[in-house]
Amino acid sequence: MRPSSSLSQISRATAKVIARASLLPLLCLLAPQPPLLASPAALAGAPGAAAPTTITYDNATRTFRLDGGGVTYIFGINERNELQSLYWGHRLAPADRIPAAHFAKEHASFDASNTTTPQEFAGWGAELYVEPALKITFADGNRDLVLHYISHTIAANTLTIVLRDISRDLFVTLRYSMDSDTGILGRSATIENRTQAGLTIEQAAAASWNLPRGTDYTMHYLSGRWAGESALHSQLIQPGKTVIESRRGSTGHQNNPWFAINRGPATEQSGDVWFGALAWSGSWSITLEQDQLQQIRVTGGFNPFDFSYPLSPGQKLETPVFYAGYSSEGMGEASRLLHRFELAQIIPHAPNQLPRPRPVLYNSWEATEFNVDEAGQTALAEKAASLGVERFVMDDGWFGQRKDDHAGLGDWYVNPQKFPNGLAPLIKKVHSLGMDFGLWFEPEMVNPDSDLYRKHPDWVIHFEGRPETQARNQLVLNLAMPEVRAYVFGFLDKTLTDYDIAFVKWDYNRNWSEPGWSATKLEDQKTLPVAYIHNLYSILAELRAKHPKVEFESCSGGGGRIDLGILGLTEEVWTSDNTDPFDRLLIQDGFTHAYTPGVMMAWVTDSSTTGRNHRNFSTAYRFLSSMQGGLGIGSNLNKWTPDDFATAKHMVAEYKTIRETVQHGSLYRLISPQGGSEYSATQSVSRDRKQSVAFAFLHSSQMGYPAPRLYLQGLDPNAVYRTHIIHGSLSKDTPESASGAFWMSHGIDIDLQGDYDAAGIVFQQQ
């Protein structure tokens, strides 16, 4: 793969701060920031040529208007000089004018105007009671912050607005960039102290999003836990606040920084949906609230809990980017917009190209766990290659004194007992079998039983003189410390230099505890959550620049670190340690609400024996479940029968013919697996609409009902599509070929019977 010059705005922004972040414990952003979106040229690959985003300012009404994709976003400067939201929704006609912004009248003495006016970025000051975007303590103890418009500039697809406190030189620069294809808007804020004294930021969001007033909104978010990620939750928005967040130092399994809100009876295929995703891999929070006047706001950014960020005179802090969009065609289209946006704007790729399709990989973890050695891995590699696998990944266990999870993390030398000749012979063998080689690391962690910890016990995140809570027998290195950052970058760089490695699986298997940083000044200690993540991003960005052929996977005990920040620096994510192919249908359904199947790794494993639920599935079922994302195999191939090999070989070959459609096409969730559904089905359509593939699953037949008819979506109604069966069977009268209109309107009957049955059908234009 060529070097990714279109590393997303996040990664480029963070790459710019590498040097500074590694030298200074307290990050201060002095360089002008790059645009929030890649150049319009990098959007190639999106269907049709999107008209450029337009951004205008109407002097007469003092309103800003952004139009991109199917979306218009308008806000204005009101009589008090606050930025006030006016419209966000379906694209309006160019001649349409939205009335100027007028701040809300005092509703009652308890609800004065400042709090009920829907502001774009409200400081906590005057009588603000809703969630503020920014809260400051000035050096003299003053905590009143009232932000007013000062100036703006418009350049290409980015609008920049400068706000200033009404009396003090605290400046906030807001940036708005709209993607011309999807209408997804990226917003961030830079907070700058131009006063003569220090001040402290206590809360900083990237943006507030205001929705039209109403009471019939439903919010959707993803919750979960280890081995149970991406559970989709939906609830009516009621007066008060719902906060989804992570206080764990990383994105977390428990909530994911994504939301969607629909108005009225929105469904998968119709209705108004607003959605957003925060590009940040550290502690974060998104507050969804309905105020006393039934106004809906969403505010998100750094988690304010235990947060305190001092700025000396002249220093700045840049927030993460909060991306958000609108769909008038239901939840399905909302997801497809996000998927297209992620592929074009977030995930690393060569200029003017889509990201490289994910190779079929084999991973040793579930087969061998820590018992890796040259002979065992070679035997697995030979078997994997015979299936058509393209990438062989050796997981945990190859380094230090790693026999189990009690020791070795931090000591990144090749274990001489397991690999007496180093890794070179294994890598050579893997290459000779026609595969590239990937290696597992958990760079941010250390076991107390390691040379590293014995030498540098002070390198872990801890409070001086207090217990250090271990989880999986490990502690978290303080990546914010320059010497730790240098050590972590150093061993990764050395291993990637010494060996021909194409892929790094970057794991992270616990959350923070006792988040102390006694090595730095007292007032800077709570900057840890920001400084740590900046160094994490900067290490990845620097490795990518130095080793441009290496691809990265973000893993955190499964899906604990999946967000648009890390995705700017990694090609894929490990979805979940739960590889039960039936559970995965639910996890994958939730996942695709926020993230493209193009990054969603899914392994076929021996789940009847090692899986969460200890139940049996056919090899075909396991493959069809995994083939809806990036296909991997994690089984112990030494235990497979000739029949397993034959089925797997067939499935891998079939997958290679449809992976571009699955990974980069448009996803339609035809039948949801949510709510204990007996059936589920997905369908992907290639960008040129020449190919489509449908996957259908039955949990357990009940009462002998036939499977529901599938009505395909997104095909060219006038083109003729011929069916090809990957696995399963169709009702006997099904025509071999028919028009797109036929498959979409008449539908198709797939035979599914018994327990855990599945089918995969390709529709190919003739």
Question: Closest distance between ligand DGJ and the C-beta of residue 359, in Å?
Answer: 17
Q: Does 507 bind ligand DGJ (CB under 6 A)?
A: yes
Using the structure block, give the residue that is written with the tokens 């200029």. Answer: 351
Q: Which is nearer to ligand DGJ, 17 or 446 (CB)?
A: 446
Q: Does 509 bind ligand DGJ (CB under 6 A)?
A: yes
Q: Annotate 246-284 with DSSP letters as a single string.
A: E-SSS--SSEEEEEEEEESS--SSSB-EEEEEEE-SSSE
Question: Closest distance between ligand DGJ and the C-beta of residue 396, in Å?
Answer: 4
Q: Which is nearer to ligand DGJ, 330 or 632 (CB)?
A: 632
Q: Does 577 bind ligand DGJ (CB under 6 A)?
A: yes
Q: Cβ contacts of residue 29 below 8 Å, gap of 6+?
A: 17, 20, 190, 316, 317, 318
- Residue 684: phi and psi, rounded to 5, are -120, 140
Q: Annotated catalytic residue: which of 179, 396, 507, 589?
A: 507
Question: Closest distance between ligand DGJ and the C-beta of residue 474, in Å?
Answer: 10
**Distance of alpha carbon 211 from alpha carbon 261, whole angstroms:** 9
Q: Which is nearer to ligand DGJ, 224 or 665 (CB)?
A: 224
577 is a catalytic site residue: yes
Question: Closest distance between ligand DGJ and the C-beta of residue 136, in Å?
Answer: 40
Ramachandran bin of 108, using left for φ above 0, alpha for ψ from -120 to 50, beta for the remaining angles: beta
Query: Which residue of 179, 268, 329, 396 would you call a contact of ligand DGJ, by CB under 6 A?
Result: 396
Query: Which residue of 171, 274, 398, 440 would you call a contact of ligand DGJ, by CB under 6 A?
Result: 440
Binding mask 525-564 for ligand DGJ (x = CB under 6 A): ------------------------------x-xx------
Size of the site for ligand DGJ (CB under 6 A): 11
Question: Closest distance between ligand DGJ and the C-beta of residue 422, in Å?
Answer: 21
Q: Which is nearer to ligand DGJ, 131 or 395 (CB)?
A: 395
Residues 73, 63 contacting (CB under 8 angstroms): no
**Distance of alpha carbon 646 from alpha carbon 173, whole angstroms:** 60
Q: Which is nearer to ligand DGJ, 187 or 248 (CB)?
A: 248
Measured CA to CA in angstroms, residue 144 lies from 84, 134, 138, 141 at distances of 19, 11, 9, 9
Question: Closest distance between ligand DGJ and the C-beta of residue 397, in Å?
Answer: 8
Query: Which residue of 73, 399, 574, 743 would you call a contact of ligand DGJ, by CB under 6 A?
Result: 574
Q: Which is nearer to ligand DGJ, 179 or 577 (CB)?
A: 577
Amino acid at 91: R
Residue 686, both tokens: 């290639």
Using the structure block, give the residue that is written with the tokens 């620069």. Answer: 173
507 is a catalytic site residue: yes
Query: How long a stretch of residues is the chain?
Result: 766
Q: Which is nearer to ligand DGJ, 253 or 336 (CB)?
A: 253
Q: Cβ contacts of residue 682 below 8 Å, gap of 6+?
A: 589, 592, 628, 667, 668, 669, 670, 694, 695
**Distance of alpha carbon 26 from alpha carbon 480, whole angstroms:** 9
**Distance of alpha carbon 83 from alpha carbon 147, whole angstroms:** 9
Question: Closest distance between ligand DGJ and the C-beta of residue 574, in Å?
Answer: 5
Amino acid at 520: T
Q: Which is nearer to ligand DGJ, 473 or 657 (CB)?
A: 473
Question: Closest distance between ligand DGJ and the C-beta of residue 370, in Å?
Answer: 8
Q: Does 73 bind ligand DGJ (CB under 6 A)?
A: no
Q: Annotated catalytic residue: which of 396, 577, 589, 757?
A: 577
Question: Closest distance between ligand DGJ and the C-beta of residue 440, in Å?
Answer: 6
Question: Closest distance between ligand DGJ and the C-beta of residue 121, in Å?
Answer: 38
Q: How buried is residue 643: exposed, middle or buried, by Cβ count under 10 Å (0-12/13-18/19+)?
A: exposed
Query: Residue with the closest Cβ to ligand DGJ?
Result: 396
Query: Which residue of 395, 436, 542, 589 would you call a contact of ligand DGJ, by CB under 6 A?
Result: 395
Q: Which is nearer to ligand DGJ, 507 or 551 (CB)?
A: 507
**What SS3 string covers 334-370?**
HHHHHHHHHHHHHCCCCCCCCCCCCCCEEECHHHHCC
Q: Does 743 bind ligand DGJ (CB under 6 A)?
A: no
| CA 426 and chain centroid, separation | 33
Binding mask 363-382 for ligand DGJ (x = CB under 6 A): --x-----------------
Residues 164, 148 contacting (CB under 8 angstroms): yes
Q: Does 209 bind ligand DGJ (CB under 6 A)?
A: no
| HSE, side-chain direction, 13 A CA sphere, residue 192 | 16
Q: Does 606 bind ligand DGJ (CB under 6 A)?
A: no
Binding mask 235-274 for ligand DGJ (x = CB under 6 A): ----------------------------------------
Residue 557, both tokens: 């005990």
Q: Which is nearer to ligand DGJ, 76 or 557 (CB)?
A: 557
Measured CA to CA in angstroms, residue 236 lies from 208, 262, 743 at distances of 20, 10, 35
Q: Which residues bind ligand DGJ (CB under 6 A)?
A: 365, 395-396, 440, 507, 509, 555, 557-558, 574, 577
- Which residues are catalytic, by number? 507, 577
